[in-house]
Amino acid sequence: MITHPMKTILTSLVFGLAASFVLHSVVLSADGPKPAPTAPRPPAPKPRPQPPTRPFDAPGAPKFTRLDGKPGVNPPVDADGDFVVGPEYVAAPETKVVEGVPQGKVQQFSIDSKDCKLFNPGIARKVFGTLDPNNPKTLIVETHEIDYQRTVTVYIPAQYVPGTAAPFIVTHDGPGMGKPDMNLPRILDNLIAQRRIPAIIAVMISHGGGDAQGHERGREYDTMSGLYAEFIEHEVLPLVENNYNVKLTKDPDGRATMGNSSGGSAALIMAWYHPEWYHRVLTFSGTFVNQQWPFNPETPDGAWGFHEKLIPESDPKPLRIWMAVGDRDSFNPNIMRDGMHDWVEANNRMAKVLKAKGYHYQYLYCLNSGHGVGNAKPQITPHALEWLWQGYPIAPTP
């Protein structure tokens, strides 16, 4: 037990040590090196507003056929037209590995931009562009040149017969090196084994970097010309054939393109400007909006021009087009307020002009789904691929 005098002594010692420590700290703080001032943190970017839900039966929308709303239900695989699916989704069984189903090979190689004729060098921007005060349909963007690597992922089905010319599909936004996305190969394994599609090769091509105006991806995917299709035809596909000892068909009916968002607009752009190469197009949340950069007076509305002018004013082309969009898809995602940046409206307009011109198309309006229809994809992708390849002959089983 501590006596009263001892408590007094201990208390004095404690306060004395504390005072000494404080004094010592003050001296060190005053005489020692001062820490470098920390730079103020940049303000966190404001979250992008949630896009509004656009009803499928809004004025001006296509006349949709609404399915029964049960999860997992897709439209008939041989039907054209406009359909509503969701709001709940179930992954199709074709998305799973099935025991006994032959699995194709998935291999990758890279292309250095410095070895290319087209898209060499690439471009990139540091900041987003500003509105052009002289032209509200475009942006002023400062860019700089870049070198980059592009990964090409190739799926070759187990049923491929060496030396034969195989049908194939080109997909955009392909996976990176060492990270092959097996979702599409798994679906193809099952659909091919079930003889619901031909034994197609898939060529999954990554972009050159960035997104939208001023970046390489935007230049490749959003430009309204045949340039990107020409790059793939002359610089990518020959490497696929040489690297893996395969032969790709020259028949445009045996060639398909597929993409998501701007990759979707790229898929249609490739077939539109080169229908002698591609007849089949598959798009998820296609960016059929005004995102082309630099500005081109021949196509002043970018991909919005597809449904505004190009398709309505052109003779039908031999294209078969499958599309899907989400009811909460993108809406004015940047500073442009030109009335041409609503992904839902753009896809609705696409469906209407395709129908008016007599195209074979199927359009799925996905309830409770956003940009890229990610929650719906596991349900609708096998269906979309089967619809896409309708009419193409399937070789007899060896």
Residue 335 lies in a domain: yes
User: Measuring CA to CA, how many Å separate 14 from each of 9, 17, 19, 22?
Assistant: 9, 5, 9, 12
Whether the predicted pLDDT of 68 surpasses 90:
no
Out of 27-31, 215-219, 292-296, least confident range: 27-31
Q: What are phi and psi of 304, to 5 degrees?
A: -60, -25
Whether the predicted pLDDT of 10 surpasses 50:
no
Residue 374 lies in a domain: yes
- Residue type at position 68: D
Domain range for 145 is 65-388
Measured N-to-C along each axis, helices 183-193 and 377-388 cross at an angle, to the nearest 10 degrees, of 50
Mean pLDDT of the chain: 88
Residue 397 lies in a domain: no
- pLDDT attached to residue 16: 41
CATH, residue 380: 3.40.50.1820
Residue 1 lies in a domain: no
Residue 19 lies in a domain: no
- State the CB neighbour count (10 A cutoff) for residue 100: 5
Out of 140-154, 189-203, 274-288, 293-307, least confident range: 140-154
The terminus-to-terminus CA distance of the chain in angstroms comes to 97
Residue 143 lies in a domain: yes
CA distance 117 to 43: 41
Residue 398 lies in a domain: no
Please give the average per-residue pLDDT across 16-29, as a whole number.
36
CA distance 301 to 305: 5
Out of 146-160, 203-217, 380-394, least confident range: 203-217
- Cα pseudo-dihedral 53, 59, 65, 66, rounded to 10: 40
pLDDT, tens only, 171-216: 999 999 998 889 999 999 999 999 999 999 999 999 987 778 768 8
pTM attached to this predicted model: 0.86
| Cα–Cα–Cα angle for 175, 180, 181, rounded to 5 degrees | 75
Whether the predicted pLDDT of 5 surpasses 60:
no
Domains contained in the chain, number? 1
Residue 173 lies in a domain: yes
**In angstroms, what is the C-alpha Rg of the chain?**
28
Residue where the block lists tokens 């010692």? 13
Out of 314-328, 335-349, 378-392, least confident range: 335-349
Partners of 166 in the β-ladder: 248
- pLDDT attached to residue 4: 42
Of residues 11 and 102, more confidence is placed in 102
